Structure 1
């Protein structure tokens, strides 16, 4: 059975992620047809993104502090080494795309979408590396 501290840790994490996503999408719910040129929409979006990051940070810190010492060490190890491995993988993928090894992958894509793709791929690679190393730690250290 899962102990109370673990349940609280997972609850803080879930509230942090779900709440941040809801806050980030709030401007799209308020503005019926958002336009990028609309100043109020842009201001609301920037404010909501800042609040969402603060929300996620607060709940992440709370979840980390509620975790047991073994879980804290696993998390620190996985974020450090896993995210670094993810950065290396993302840089290798960038190198393949930049060298022309993947022709047509970003053909017709606007620069802002290409920038967003690059940012998202880096973050996804870091998260995937963290999850892989966390699972490895959990499987080998118990």
Structure 2
């Protein structure tokens, strides 16, 4: 019976592989959108199809990465997701609710189309959630170093 291989943390080559796969996926999405926009799908359909392809591809890349990363990094990401991403989503949601329910914002928001306002609200919540996640992730590593 052979000895099991010792754990080896993913190195720079693994990082380059993940970044390369991500870049390739972005290229596929961009070119796919260009080629599909003049089809029966139209611009919106092409964007939807390519966004779906992109999300499936990103999930596949993340699964490959997750299988190779060590337990400490996994724990840091899980902790940051719960303690940073969740409060970030709450703060972002409160911000959007305050904006849409504030009389002071009516004049400022009047120049936007409804779909643009939805996209801005979703984008704001995502940015605040990612910021909370990043701060929690940094905190997790800072207290353990």
Asked if Structure 1 and Structure 2 have the same fold, meaning a TM-score greater than 0.5 normalized by the shorter chain, the answer is yes
TM-score band, normalised by the shorter chain? Answer: 0.7 to 0.9
Query: Given that residues 27 and 41 in structure 1 are in contact (C-alpha distance below 8 angstroms), is that contact kept between their aligned partners in structure 2?
Result: no
**What residue ranges of structure 1 are gaps of 5+ in the alignment?**
none
Structure 1 residue aligned with 2:50: 48
Superposed counterparts of 1:38-117, under 5 Å: 39-100=41-102, 102-103=104-105, 104-117=107-120
Segment of structure 1 superposing worse, 86-95 or 99-108: 99-108
Question: In the alignment, which residue of structure 1 is the partner of 2:127?
Answer: 124
Q: Is the 8 A contact 1:27 1:48 kept in 2?
A: yes
CA distance in structure 1 between the partners assigned to 2:102 and 2:128 by the alignment:
21
- 1:7 maps to which residue? 12
The TM-score with structure 1 as length reference comes to: 0.79
2: CA distance between counterparts of 1:16 and 1:127? 22
Size of the alignment, in residue pairs? 137
Structure whose CA Rg is larger = 2
TM-score (norm 2): 0.77
Post-superposition offset of 1:47: 1.7
What value does the CA root-mean-square deviation take over the aligned residues? 2.7
Sort the Cα spacing of 1:78 and 1:16 in 2 relative to 1 into closer, same or farther, 3 A: farther
Structure 2 gaps, min length 5: 1-7
CA distance in 1, matches of 2:71, 2:41: 47
Q: Distance in 2 between matches of 1:50 and 1:138?
A: 33
Matched, 1:18 2:23: yes
